[in-house]
Amino acid sequence: MINTIWIVLMAGGILVAGFQCLGLDYSSTAGLVMNPSFVPLNDLTKGLFDSAKASVNLAMGLIGIMALWLGLMRIAEESGLVKIFARAVRPIMIRLFPDVPEDHPAMGAMVMNIAANMLGLGNAATPLGLKAMQELQTLNKVKDTATNAMATFMALNTSSVTFIPATVIGIRAAANAANPAEIIGPVILATGVSTTVAVIVVKLLQKLPKYQVLEPQASSAESAGEEV
Amino acid sequence: MFQGLINGVSAVAIPILILAIVGHGWYKKVKVYEVFTEGAKEGFTVAVRIIPFLVAILVAIGSFRSSGALDLITSLLAPMTSWIGMPGEVIPMALMRPLSGSGALGIVSELTTTYGPDSLIARMAAVMEGSTETTFYILAVYFGSVGVKKTRHALPAALTADLAGIIAAVVVTQMVFG
């Protein structure tokens, strides 16, 4: 999908610029007039090189801010602050994931993932999220089909429960914003809306007949056997 | 009042968080300086790792924009988005956000550099970046990693949440900065 978008952006731009080189003038009284020129293509080429240069400047500006957050996150892990946070949100987690036992490792992994997302630390969030999925899979009776807990966890993840959008603050700081962090409040509000919608929709949809799990006889017998 | 409250939250969030992390680390006798630098080392790797994605997407968007192709598409979509207060310049961001994290980041960077970080456009894109996620990527990677093929209601729920997040980002940005 990203390949399609990329080629449309890249080739679409070049084709449109090429078309503009014909310099067609529809408004002329003398009918369709052509004023051929290479200016649009020259501008395009200059634009491409400028964009390439700008992207590296941007990444260089990000190094310091990323280092700051990753350093702080490491302190929070070592001091056990992350664990304290996990304990604090336990009551919410039990309601969101009624099918997952309270002390199951899946709960801890999910809390850590959501906490990393809240702090805007995508690189810390992904490994923890994958761990959470593996733990949820151990509770799954039909292995090729998503459980309600998995779907809820995915809905939470994709609706992005963010409190500190660190990367985007970094970009704004690198661009010399008057107040790079001013977007935090609006982000918390907007993310609250999308997360609320995500939870409501996922809980409503899981009741629809269309999304019921068809548990084959063989697999239910198998899982019953495992429990014994 | 409302705006003051939001600005207040924005102002205190990071200083308090940093103080809490460092203070708690010191209280728990963590060697804060050593541990911090250990974690910070990864900052360079992460920033450098995104360069290829930034170049790819910024150059592609550069091509689309400097040729006037983007103006063409956004002028087609703008009448539909303007009634919720979304400027045409932000449309590519809303389209890219569920598809590619690096792509959306590239668009935010691009809008921030082009229109200035204190413009409504840059702020709206930043709020959108912070309040939505790369749905397709996350679903593919997370479900793929455990071999789940039938994702049931996960995708429709996630896409509905994306739409809600994008609209919320537009409305909140207009309320606070508009």
Would you say residue A84 lies in a domain?
yes
Nearest by CB to B148, from A48, A72, A144: name it: A144
CB A158, CB B133: distance < 8 Å: yes
Examine residue A11 and state whether it is found in any structural domain, yes or no.
no
Contacts of B130 in chain A (CB under 8 A): 120, 160, 162, 165, 168, 183, 187, 190-191
For the ranges A165-174, A219-228, B13-22, the lowest mean pLDDT is seen at: A219-228
Question: Is residue B128 a contact partner of residue B93, using CB atoms and an 8 Å limit?
Answer: yes
More confident residue, B30 or B134: B30
The answer to whether the CB of B78 falls within 8 A of the CB of B26 is no
Is A112 part of any domain?
yes
Can you tell me the ipTM of this complex?
Answer: 0.73
Q: Are B58 and A55 in contact (CB under 8 A)?
A: yes
Which is more confidently placed, A62 or B7?
A: A62
Residue B115's pLDDT band, with cuts at 50, 70 and 90, is very high
pLDDT of residue A225: 43
| Band of residue B49 on the pLDDT scale cut at 50, 70, 90 | low
Per-residue confidence (pLDDT) for residue A223, from 0 to 100? 46
Nearest residue, CB atoms, B6 vs list A46, A145, A186: A186
List the single range of A69-73, A212-216, B36-40 with lowest mean pLDDT. Answer: A212-216
Q: What count of other Cβ atoms lies within 10 Å of the Cβ of residue A106? A: 24
Answer whether residue B4 shows pLDDT above 70. no
Picking from B7, B61, B152, the nearest residue to A145 by CB comes out as B152
User: DSSP labels for A15-36?
Assistant: HHHHHHTT-EESS-TTSSEE--
Domain-embedded: residue A5: no
* Residue in B with minimal Cα distance to A45: B63
Mean pLDDT, chain A, as a whole number?
Answer: 81
Q: What is the CA radius of gyration of chain A?
A: 26
Average pLDDT over residues B147-156: 86
Q: Could you list the residue range(s) of the whole structural domain that residue A146 is in?
A: 62-213
Domain spans, chain B: 26-177
> Does the pLDDT at position B90 exceed 70?
yes
Closest to A194 (Cα-Cα) out of B101, B157, B154: B157
User: Which chain B residue has its CA at the smallest distance from A146's CA?
Assistant: B151
Do the domain assignments include residue A149?
yes
Q: Do residue B58 and residue A51 have CB atoms under 8 angstroms apart?
A: yes
Contact B162 A158 (CB under 8 A): yes
Chain B residues closer than 8 Å to A6 by CB: 56-57, 60
pLDDT digits (tens, 9 = 90+) for B70-82: 677 777 888 888 8
Q: How far, in Å, are A62, A170, B19, B43, B153 from residue A67 at the CA level? A: 8, 11, 17, 4, 38
User: For residue A227, what pLDDT is reported?
Assistant: 39
Q: Is A66 part of a structural domain of the chain? A: yes
- Which chain A residues have a beta carbon less than 8 Å from that of B64? 9-10, 12-13
